[in-house]
Amino acid sequence: MSHLDTADVVVRDVIEPLSIRTDREGRFPREAIDALGRAGLLGLVSATAVGGQGAGLREAAEVVGRIARDCPSTAMVVCMHYCAAAVIEAQGPEAVRREIAAGRHLSTLAFSEAASRSHFWAPAGTARGTGAQVMLDARKSWVTSAFEADSYVWSSRPLAAEGASTLWLVDARTHGLVQPGGFDGLGLRGNASTPITATEVLIAADRRLGEDGHGFDTMMGVVLPWFSVLSAACSVGLMEGAIMRAAGHVGQTRLQHLESSLADLPTIRAYLARGRIKADMAGTLLQDTIAAIAAGRPDTMLRVLEVKAAAAETALEVTDIAMRVCGGAAFRKEAGIERLFRDARAASVMGPTSDVLYDFIGKAVTGLPLF
């Protein structure tokens, strides 16, 4: 089976049936992640040399988008795992790469900090050398899959070199990592996105990912493209789920006194048409961004900056349309639309936020340096 066929089966058999519980209880979708691991999808972007499927960003976006149609919480867990796996695949130890490829290791990014907010590229947390070990101190503000993942791709200020940051591979079970509180949020309630505090956390010096002081290069060259594309894929998949559910509702709901369905009303059809156009526009930009990255086009960075903001903001509009079209029925949990409406709110405020991206895009358009 193709990766999409495999994803379809896992979504149908495991992810979708658990999606309401995942949201209602704010429960991490452990069964879903385990099923994705067994199906080989956690190792999708791992090299074949270590037992993975050797797929790339396009395939990862397709899987994330498919999952997001039914459970954006699970989709975001997978999104962050693929982002971390891309870094580990390029710079991490072979043993961890093999565990990821085998579907036995879930990773995530630990970049955002209380002191720098959505400016994830500028960590305030420190790293200090102590011989063969390094001591990390930080207040990470939001970490998806916190204390559910097996490892974190962790950012700090450089150990000794010049530069903005250094990246580390931190075992999630390392002593000194503390979870200040749980997560009980509006949307994406199942992705275990909580703060992590590190106080004098000791890790081996050889757990550094890349050269000291070169973390910014990895963030811009690997993490930003992967995260922007996969976040956009989550938003696009979420829109598809909202339109599908809204269209299904209006097609099945009858106006008995008129002997017609809601879909027979021109106003309803017009709203759905606008939602369809907006979703297709975001989806087309997503595909063009992936194509730009693959070809190394001159407009690649502009597309990378645009795609997350465009998809995030469009998802707000499309899920609003779905709620409006379905009226009071959309407020029922079992319809699944209000859940997608709430989940859609996260991407626009997830660093880099839409407002930060608009500033970067404006700089790019006017020829100013981004940083």
**DSSP sequence for 313-345:** HHHHHHHHHHHHHHGGGGGSGGGSHHHHHHHTT
By DSSP bridging, strand 133-143 and strand 194-204 are: antiparallel
The Cα–Cα gap between 21 and 240 comes to 21
Query: What is the rounded distance in angstroms from the CA atom of residue 71 to the CA atom of residue 20?
Result: 8
- 262 contacts 255 by C-beta, under 8 angstroms: yes
Under a CB-based contact definition with an 8 Å cutoff, are residues 46 and 54 in contact? yes
pLDDT computed for residue 37 by the predictor: 98
**What is the pLDDT at residue 334?**
83
Contact 163, 122 (CB under 8 A): no
Query: How far from each other are the two terminal CA atoms of the chain, in whole angstroms?
Result: 44
pTM: 0.96
DSSP secondary structure code for residue 159 in this structure: S
Pairing of strands 151-156, 166-171: antiparallel
Query: Which domains are present in the chain?
Result: 3-106 (1.10.540.10), 110-213 (2.40.110.10), 216-366 (1.20.140.10)
Per-residue pLDDT at 133: 96
Number of Cβ within a 10 Å radius of residue 257: 6
Ranges of residues in the chain whose predicted pLDDT is under 50: none
pLDDT in tens, 248-306: 988 776 555 555 677 778 999 999 999 999 999 999 999 999 999 999 999 999 999 99
Peptide bond preceding 93: is omega within 30 degrees of 0, i.e. cis?
Answer: no
Name the helix (H) or strand (E) containing 225: helix 224-252
Token reading at 10: 């896992």
HSE, side-chain direction, 13 A CA sphere, residue 135: 6
Q: For residues 35-74, b (16+ Cβ closer than 10 Å) or e, as one string?
A: bbbebbbbbbbbbeebbbbbbebebbbbbbbbbbbbbbbb
Kindly tell me the burial class for residue 256, based on how many C-beta atoms sit within 10 Å of its own C-beta (0-12, 13-18, 19 or more): exposed
